[in-house]
Structure 1
Amino acid sequence: MESKNRTVITEFILLGLTQSRDMQLLVFVLILIFYFIILPGNFLIVFTIRSDPGLTAPLYFFLGNLAFLDASYSFIVAPRMLVDFLSEKKVISYRGCITQLFFLHFLGGGEGLLLVVMAFDRYIAICRPLHYSTVMNPRACYAMLLALWLGGFVHSIVQVVLILRLPFCGPNQLDNFFCDVPQVIKLACTDTFVVELLMVFNSGLMTLLCFLGLLTSYAVILCRIRGSSSEGKNKAVSTCTTHIIVMFLMFGPGIFIYTRPFRAFPADKVVSLFHTVIFPLLNPVIYTLRNQEVKTSMKKVFNKHMA
């Protein structure tokens, strides 16, 4: 008889996004095209912000880090998923599964906290402009950056530790195209009610509270700028609208996946695809397309290196 906490399973079989071969090839081509068009844009954003002396404001500092986080996040799931589309048997080792899960929530948690920091930055800039340079000084920005990395690490390591304590003795088929908490937990050969509850509090409650906090903060900001001058008002509204769009793209799928009991729903895989592959690469692009300063700098960098 195996001891309670001993892991018997050494690998998991991923059932993938769909069992249809034609659909797999279609999704493979679409994601590959999207991946190789949008991903370089994220690195261009980072390079532009770091190389342009005019983009030193905290807003651009955090935007550069968002692009870096999202680009890193996109490497966790997409490359392996593309390889698995062409494989007959989609297998991931137990350690590989835990590693994927850790980095998924480490970077995802860090990004969620980064959006909170960016909302705080906009609140100070719009509602407390005279205190902006004092509050959002370089030292404070780096401290916030360190805090969000630490927050993402703590958020992720708690989940990993809880999963490592579970026994896995079969079956070993994960009904998804990557390793995530809801599917992995359901394979444990023990009662997981308490662990699921802790996971919902850790991921679900954190996601929901961040979302509601951000929604409230932007509502306050938009109310405060109603009486501003036309030029300043339009710029502030444009910036806040961009943040709100990204906020819904980031937290909407997370709330759907993590704030409910871990039961399979028909839309789970599609939501997970957008949450782990599509939206992370789009977030910095949405910011950039609505920011004239960054667009102008990117054109200069592109023309300089293409000349």
Structure 2
Amino acid sequence: MLDKFPGFLGYGEIIAIHANWPIYPTGIGWKMALKTIGNFPKETIFYEIDDIDRCKLLINQEPNKLSNPYDSNHYHIALWHDDLIELKDKGFIDGVIDKSEYEFEMIRFENFKREFGDRLKLDEDGNIILYIKDDNGKLRETKYHKPEFDEDEEDFVFKNCAVIPNGVSLTESGIKELYNISKEINLIEELNALTKPFIEIKRFDTAVRDASLLVETKIKEFHKQPNLFGQKLVELHIFEVIRNNENYNSAAIKCYRGELRTIFKFIRNDFAHNFRVLSEEQCKLILSRISDTLSEFNEVINAYFEKK
């Protein structure tokens, strides 16, 4: 079944990504992409570790320093090329270069060649010669063909592919735009009732602290686990969600897990152990994130669990 395909997304005109990643894009559009980047501390630099179906898998650490950058215990995001380019064009992120499809495929081809080093073999047309095992275990020659430039197609005109030479990070304009986006979001009633009194007396750090505690408390109470907290609580919750999804860890569940883990890592842990000086804008931006996650928690409970 298609809904059991690892990268099945099913939103917009997109069906799936042909990859079994630890996380996937949560939606389409530059605002969704900006909010995804904004889930991390503003100084975070994201590094590319994979690129499939015009979508990039990024990680918040230098991947060459990790034994397995795909490990689901790391913190990842996934963003579409189109959204990265639009964010770059708006001045909201640094580190992205837009290339034509031909230029992009040539970069991938040349990078692949470098990986072979002295073992590289090319045919007379510059294609890479590869060997794969067939069903009988015998080596069979195949080729990675060098991209061809079609002069009639104006291959350099349309710059619709994103290249990340080093890392991607938010700009000051991007941070300001996140504040603007947060103004468009109405907090869910429960969270608004909890935090509004603190905001009125300018106790912004307390509002965020109590909001993150609300997320943790609701998960604890639902699973009747008063002694679990932090990432262990998140993993128990996700384990139960997967178990109630016929033991299948879908793309939607992976995205939900990613949202919860970043909330607990970068908000709950920080505000639980430190006093933070926040502006009202910063407070409302964080609360909008928590509100989205609480809404998703309620949806997950309704979708994956029988009424208790």
- TM-score between both structures, scaled by the size of structure 2: 0.26
Higher helix fraction (1 or 2): 1
Higher relative contact order (CA 8 A, sep 6+): 1
Larger Cα-atom Rg: 2
